[in-house]
Structure 1
Amino acid sequence: MKNCDSDLSSMTIALTDDANTYAYPPDVALEIQQASPASYAVAADFLNVSNVDLVSLQHEFGIFGGEAGEFILGLLSGLNAPIVTTLHTVLANPNPAQRRVMDGIIKHSSRLVVMADKGRRILQDVYDVPTEHIAVIPHGVPDRAFIDPAMAKHKLGLADRTLLMTFGLLGPGKGIETAIRAVPALVRDHPNLLYMIVGATHPNLVRDEGERYRDSLVALATELGVIENICFVDRYLSLDELLDHLAACDIYLSPYPNEAQIVSGTLAYAVALGKAVVSTPFWYAQELLADHCGVLVPFSEPDALGAAVARLIVDGASRSEIRTRAYERGRAMIWSSVAKQYLKVFSDVRFERRSGASRAIRPVNDEAWNRALPPINTDHLAALTDMVGVTQHTKFAVPDRRHGYCLDDNARALLLLSELSTLRSLTPHEEQLALTYAAFVEHAWSPKDNRVHNFMGFDRTWLDDAGADDAHGRTVWALGAVAMRKDDRFLDGWAAARLLEMAPALVALTTPRAWAYGLLGISKLLRRFPGHRNLEQLRGELSNRLFQRWSDAAAPDWIWFEDRLGYDNARLCEALIESGHDTGNESHLDAGLDTLRWLMTLQTAEAGHFRPIGTETFGSDRRRPQPFDQQPLEACAAVSACLTAARVTSDVRWKREARRAFNWFLGANDLGIPVVDVERGACFDGLHPDRRNANQGAESTLAYLSALTAILSTAEQDSSSSRAARVVELCAAGTKPLRRVPNGVRTGLPEDRPEAQLSCGCPNP
């Protein structure tokens, strides 16, 4: 599978019978003790903690502990991930215990895989499993060249022999006795015939009775006088050894004594290598050997088996035709083909699980989603930050220092704390965090290059050359937010000076997001210093560029700035809305609002909740949005852009859109689960089709905190405006003078400090 999907990672959970120990390969992460129910629960817990996307269970009766293998149900019932179960046996007449276990497996499995159509029919007819719940995927086989057996026999020193073969773990129930009884008649006409029985005795059989069964076969061959024509290869062969032996055989025998055999890996291998097969008509053989891909003979009839083999020995043309047909059929069974089919099932299951959760989402106007907003908590942000800056990534909640830092996240963090300071006073620790992020921004600036670095290793060395476009624009944005407000530590002076130094370089950048971020920062500083000619000219240049991008790319069915959707999409709309409003450019404002309407329509699921543009959409021209993976950054951008649209248009519908986007964090999403830990202020790294990403990195956490800050700030401003309107209404007669008195409410604008509300001094409430 890894050859088909380079991004795939996997682990193996092995089942160990209590009496043995095994030298498992490194990919075995955990062992289950067969007879210990608690061991199955531990395995489920381990897989949940490992945050696996999907569990593939290989089920066979007789392997797992408990009556009919019932202990496996304890593992399945404890798993969070979806389960795809491959059934190596499908019983048409199960006993009560077997039926109970099968019903449990069916209940917990998102998909059942069988290796023959007969298995599908039994699942439907006996177990009432819906067709769409079943996948038929052939038994996998190695990809070997089609060669003449004579070449392989020479390698084994058997060039002068007519070679028959059966392989697999030796034990009763495989019909070997029937094949041995067919040998005497064959030897009379073909004295050079050799029947090779390859494989060690089944270990459970050896444990219970030693080699009694193998000895009985030797005794039978001796009694029939053909012991010299039968060769027992009593050992485990490596895969290459096994395939070399199989390649050498002229005719492969599969003499199972009853039909209730739903799959046979040994028969699959024989067909895949293009062997002429003589088999009894058990279920799997009937399907695999159909259309003259082999010869079927009655059960437990040595004479019929021998006659079929004799005909193939003398009829080279018929034998060759069967071999050719078998090899062609085996092409569909090679591991690369089977792996692709399994990957398709795995992908389908994950998306189906997402769809099921999506249908459970409540309507978007449900008041439950509009309950009180959570408080802002920066504990997790602080945990991600050291004396250098905020680290990029985590493993679960633990900072992952191997990936170091980036300017993008430190600029976002500085922007967040600047915005948060308008809502409430920063704590002393938050004040220190702001200085740390400012220091990182300062260090990232390269005056000689007139550009910024973005990525820094944990050893404090820059990992890139100066010249990161989007990080440059985002830094100007953060600096504008800091410079907009007076600061007792004169951070505003530092930020204004650095912005004026960095902003002119924006005209040399080519990415529209860099322009948009820069516009947002420039607009903030111009609120404090309106009339700054250089900044006004730069704002005009960048907004014209962004508008031209929209004009060039937009079409009736594609109202956007580019031929493709990317990340942080709504920021493009927000920048044009903001600059269009501030400059009075109606064309720019209308284009920004139109693109935001179009984008929010695309980001609306069928059930009405917010669905961010999925990362699978990125990189494809004019492709309609794919639902996954969903990133917190998109929800944050949508919140901010919609609130900006609400502010400049006074249309409350935009506020409802902003709240709809924010509710994605709280659980109004395709999976119906929260994406945040509100107690710590941590945000998970998005949604996969069937689960949330358990990591809680800086970008995601900052997206959540920024969106929450924006929503709370707007709510506070609405509350302040409502109180002011109340005062005006009470004093319409103008009998009392209006004055400002402190009340602890902030609007976020410099001229509104100290915080105040309008009051006439009346005793009226």
Structure 2
Amino acid sequence: MRAPFLARKVAFIGTYLPRKCGIATFTHDLRHAVALQRGESACLVIAMNDAAGPYAYPPAVVCEISEQDLASYERAAEYLNHRDVDVVCVQHEFGIFGGSAGGHLLTLLRALKMPIVTTLHTVLRDPGPEQRRVMDALIKVSDRLVVMTERGRTFLRERYAAPAEKIDLIAHGIHDVPLEEPDRYKELFAVEGRLVLLTFGLLSPNKGIEHVLNALPVIIAEFPQVVYLVLGATHPNLLRHQGEAYRLGLERLAKKNGVEQHVIFYNRFVDLPELKEFIGAADVYVTPYLNEQQIVSGTLAYAFGAGKAVISTPYWHAAELLADGRGVLVPFADAPAIARSVCDLLRDEPARLELRRRAHLLGREMIWSRAAEHYGESFERARAQHAAKHRQAFLLRTLAQEPMQLPAFKPDHVLRMSDSTGMLQHALFSVPNFAHGYCTDDNARALMLTLLWESLGQSTPAIESLATSYTAFLAHGLHPGTRRFRNFMSYDRRWLEDVGSEDSHGRALWALGVCAGHARDRSLQLLAGQLFEAALPAVVDLVHPRTWAFALLGIHAYLQRQPGDSRAGEIRAVLVDRLMTRFAEHARGDWFWLADDATYDNARVAHALILSGGAMAQKAVQETGLRALGWLMRIQTATNGHFQPIGSDGFFHRDRPRAFFDQQPIEVQATVAACIGAFHATADRSWLRQAHRVFEWFLGRNDLGLMLYDAKTGGCRDALHADRVNENQGAESTLAFHLALAELQLTHNDLTDFEPSTAVAAGAA
């Protein structure tokens, strides 16, 4: 059993630092906040490059897109589709993507297989035709839409007909800073003892800074100690086309107004620590922007959240954030109004302090850690909706009621994953991954598969050779001192532990018992028998019921060839008694199970009791196994009838909701085998029909309607997640598919001369 899927991998698409723009800063801050909660490796960045790029990006940036190169958008989509990404989080602004109205972005998004959460940094009230076309398509392709203001949400609903239930309102994140007196920071900029006005952000004519410069003579007449700090480099796009003409014009205006000694221009793009210091030094923050339709301002959010008294023109974000007395609003391009408002605040210190206090208090709800939590909720909603779309499409298909045709024999991927040492654990897609080496668990399963193929007449010299390698691996895995199996071996054939897991010991016993009981090669049969006898006593000291079940399945097969082995019989009796005691202790009401949680490989317990009860002529034991299997079938059947295994992302605990994802192939194979065992024990063909229904999970009859089996490679994908399959085709999943297929094929071959107590499939399953 592999570790449950824990890390939720998120890919952020947008501009990124060190590129100088507000979206780059936002993407960086959001990604950093999410990474603090989910881990650095779980947060990737796809960075947008403009004509000035490429940039010296940090390691978080794993892929770059050239703004006007459509092919690079296609390559980015392919990259993301092959990186096991759970959610893509797009930072959308028309100007940062290529094509008409940034339409190149749609090429990328339409090719993605995972859910998309799009943050809209601009929502236009009156878009042009191309902007409207792109927005309509963006709304359709996104699973969730994030806006930062109530006005943005209203526009999406009323002007773009976006579904209200698809929209998340998440305020612009801010950095968590204490409410401090400005004097602490003023000496850093040689303005101690002065009253500081501040405007910061990339400079361009729509910032309206000239209107503050025109207001300064009136302000300085009453407050000669005022100094106005203008922080920010000229916007790169403006710089490319006009150079520093705008900044030089502002400097000339300050000189013309006679206030040049009261204005300091900082012509640079500052990093976060220094930005906090600038904001900290301000007594009043001023945003005199001229564009009413600016629906988001990161600079406003940062200053407000830091507890600054804010004076602003009523562009959309400011009008909403500063409403109800949280700041001061002045008309657009109105220098006298700016002068009056600044003087009023500087004159009335209690009022200024109250604005600061209220702003800082509200700002605690906007800090980046809270924003990251809200984005996490949006990501999960997106995943759920994405999965729901798959499920809906699945339910709308007309699925035949008769069983699907079983796939043809194709051992290619099993052979690809094996070498002279044994079977490798993991794959990158369908390519063996040497980094994780081998394990006893998988080699035990692989040995049983070769024996089933032998029984079906499908063995070849290559498969016979692999059966020898798998048996040799188990022989080498048995520690001569402890008589316990080691589990993990590196690719260079070094054991990584002295004692493996209890599960690996149980699975090794199971495989050796089947080999000793059913192998046609006498050498394998004799060696397996010796190893089984040497390792069996240790199982009595093990404590996990699933391990006992594995051992019982092995004992059952072993005793078919060695019925007189009294020690194996005695250990079987001990293990059966333990399982029955567990059921007596835990099964009650509608919970017929031997523990307070059902995790993975659950049906093995039921299967072991069905076989052992029949072999020991203990009807109560067999009935307990059949009843437990029936309970497992009930809780793992979806409302429309397909198999819905317990998910490994939380499992199923008594009195708590069960996990539905991530669904694992081993649970499916275990249930197929148990149903076949129940059919052989009872001759009730409904169990065989159940086995077929469960097997069809591999073929697309599942929650998402997606194939787990890859008919091209002969491999099986590793899991069914909430919104997609895991594309890797590791040993565990591939063996689970082929074991289940072989067990069904063998059962059908045996039906004409069926003998319930002696069918090989029951022992090998």
TM tier relative to shorter chain: over 0.9
**1:270-289 aligned within 5 A:** 270-289=303-322
Verify: 1:156 aligned to 2:189, yes or no.
Answer: yes
Query: Are the counterparts in 2 of residues 419 and 481 from structure 1 also a CA contact under 8 Å?
Result: no
2:166 aligned residue (112, 133, 143): 133
Of the three residues 690, 700, 724, the one matched with 2:733 is: 700
Q: Structure 1 residue 400 and structure 2 residue 437: aligned?
A: no
Instruction: State the match for 1:146 in structure 2.
Output: 179
CA–CA separation in structure 2 for the residues paired with 1:469 and 1:19? 58
Amino acid at match of 1:408: D
Partner residue in 2 for 1:179: 212
CA contact (8 A) 1:32 1:39 kept: yes
Q: Which residue of 1 aligns with 2:80?
A: 47
Does the Cα contact within 8 Å between 1:164 and 1:194 map onto a contact in 2? yes
1:352-371 per-position Cα deviation (integer Å, ceiling 9, x unaligned): 21122223335999437723
SS in structure 2 of the partner of residue 11 of structure 1 = strand
Counterpart of 1:169? Answer: 202
Equivalent residues of 1:369, 1:668 under 8 A apart: no
The answer as to whether partners of 2:422 and 2:473 remain within 8 angstroms in 1 is: yes
Deviation at 1:248, TM superposition (A): 0.3
**What does residue range 546-561 of structure 1 map to in structure 2 within 5 Å?**
546-561=579-594
1:186 CA drift (Å)? 0.3
2:635 to 598, 602, 606: 602
Are residues 749 and 117 of structure 1, via their aligned partners in 2, closer, same or farther at CA, if it must alter by over 3 Å? closer
- Distance in 2 (CA, whole Å) between partners of 1:202 and 1:41 is 29
Listed as ranges, the matches of 1:396-545 within 5 Å are 396-466=429-499, 468-545=501-578
TM-score, L = length of structure 1: 0.92
Alignment partner of 1:392: what SS? strand
Change (3 A) 1:444 1:254: same
Distance 1:508 1:622, change over 3 A: farther
For residues 398 and 365 of structure 1, the distance between their equivalents in structure 2, rounded to whole angstroms, comes to 34
**Is residue 117 of structure 1 aligned with residue 156 of structure 2?**
no
Q: Report the counterpart of residue 375 of structure 1 in structure 2.
A: 408
- 1:310 lines up with 2:343 in the alignment: yes
CA 1:26–1:532: 2 relative to 1, 3 Å: closer
> Which residue number corresponds to residue 324 of structure 1?
357
Which one has the largest radius of gyration? Answer: 1
Counterpart residue number, 2:623: 590
Partners of 1:64 and 1:29 in 2: how far apart?
18
Letter in 2 for 1:36: D
| 1:366-410 Cα deviation digits (max 9, x unpaired) | 437723211222211111112211111122222222212111111
Which deviates more, 97-106 or 29-38? 29-38
Judged with a 3 Å threshold, the aligned counterparts in structure 2 of structure 1 residues 362 and 322 are, in CA distance, closer, same or farther, namely closer
Residues 60 and 274 (structure 1), Cα distance of their counterparts in 2 relative to 1, 3 Å cut: same
CA distance in 2, matches of 1:490, 1:49: 44
1:31 paired residue among 64, 67, 71: 64
Deviations 1:495-544 (Å, cap 9, x if unpaired)? 12221222122111111011100100111122223343222222111111
Take 1:295 and 1:99, find their aligned partners in 2: how far apart are those partners? 34
Is 1:631 the counterpart of 2:668? The answer is no
Deviation at 1:719, TM superposition (A): 4.7
Aligned partner of 2:224: which letter?
A: P
Separation in 2, partners of 1:667, 1:99: 38
Q: CA deviation at 1:420?
A: 2.0
2:3 aligns with: none
Q: CA deviation at 1:341?
A: 0.9
Contact 2:428/2:729, CA 8 A, preserved across alignment: yes
Q: Normalising by the residue count of structure 2, what TM-score does the alignment of the two structures yield?
A: 0.92
- Partner amino acid for 1:153? K
What displacement does 1:113 show?
A: 0.6
Does 1:670 find its partner at 2:703? yes
Q: Distance in 2 between matches of 1:209 and 1:258?
A: 20
Partner residue of 1:686 out of 716, 719, 722:
719
Task: Verify the 8 A CA contact 1:485 1:749 in the aligned structure 2.
Answer: no
| Letter of the 1:526 counterpart | L
Return the match for 1:233 from 249, 266, 289: 266
- Match of 1:173, SS? helix
Residue deviations 1:554-601 (CA, integer Å, cap 9, x gap): 111211111111111110111111111221212111111111111111
Shift of 1:7: 7.8
Question: Are the counterparts in 2 of residues 564 and 623 from structure 1 also a CA contact under 8 Å?
Answer: no
Superposed CA deviations along residues 155-195 of structure 1, whole A, max 9, x for unmatched, are 22211211000000000112212221111100001111111
Alignment partner of 1:666: what SS?
coil
Cα distance change, pair 545–365 in 1 and its aligned pair in 2 (3 A): farther
Shift of 1:201: 0.6
Q: Write the distance in 2 (CA, Å) between the matches of 1:247 and 1:486.
A: 78
* 1:212 equivalent in structure 2: 245
State the Cα deviation string for residues 706-730 of structure 1 (Å, max 9, x = none): 1111111112122555xx9xxxxxx
C-alpha separation in 1, matches of 2:425 and 2:688: 31
More displaced, 207-216 or 619-628? 619-628
Q: Distance in 2 between matches of 1:6 and 1:38?
A: 31
- Report the count of equivalent residues: 728
Cα displacement (A) at 1:308: 1.2
Partners of 1:156 and 1:719 in 2: CA distance: 93
In the TM superposition, what whole-angstrom CA distance separates every residue of 1:104-148 from its partner, at most 9, and x where no partner exists? 111111111111111000000000001111111111111222211
Q: Is the 8 A contact 2:646 2:652 kept in 1?
A: no
Task: Give the conservation status (yes or no) of the 8 Å contact 2:404–2:696.
Answer: no
Residue number in structure 2 paired with 1:614: 647
Percent same amino acid at aligned positions? 45
Instruction: Tell whether the 8 Å contact from 2:484 to 2:505 is kept in structure 1 after alignment.
Output: yes
Confirm whether residue 63 of structure 1 aligns to residue 99 of structure 2: no
Residue by residue over 1:457-503, the C-alpha shift from the partner in whole angstroms, topping out at 9 and shown as x without a partner, is: 22222211225321111111111111112523431122122212221
What runs of 5+ residues in structure 1 fail to find an aligned partner?
Answer: 725-745, 751-765
Equivalent pair of 1:381/1:701 in contact (CA under 8 Å): yes
Which runs of no fewer than 5 residues in structure 2 stay unpaired? 1-33
Whole-angstrom CA distance in 2 between matches of 1:578 and 1:303? 92
Determine the C-alpha separation between the residues in 2 that align with 1:472 and 1:365. Answer: 44
Counterpart CA distance in 2 for 1:661 and 1:208 is: 65
- CA distance 1:486–1:225, change in 2 (3 Å): closer
The 1:103–1:425 alpha-carbon spacing in structure 2 relative to 1, beyond 3 Å, is: closer
Aligned partner (choices 108, 125, 130) of residue 75 of structure 1? 108
**1:364–1:608 CA contact under 8 A, matched in 2:** no
